[in-house]
Amino acid sequence: MDFLEEKVISVIKENTNDDCEIKLDHRLEDLGIDSLEKIMIINSLEDEFSIEIEDGEVKALKTVSDIVINLRERLKRASQ
């Protein structure tokens, strides 16, 4: 697991107060994450990485992996 994956999982745990094992293929819904918690998680990640994820994109993020992939693409574009 790389730094970005670990950070996303860490932020999810911080915002849900859940110590269960979180894997990249877990659906946010299956982790009990509602829409408000999802927004809080995304806001935390936006602050952490100084990026902005559009509202329409947030709705499309269904799994932990979706979040990681979105962040990785944004960070890659920002570094170019």
19 annotated active-site: no
The answer to whether the CB of 53 falls within 8 A of the CB of 44 is: no
Query: Catalytic pick from 30, 34, 47, 55?
Result: 34
Its sign, for the CA torsion 67, 8, 34, 55, is: negative
Q: Name the residues annotated as catalytic.
A: 34
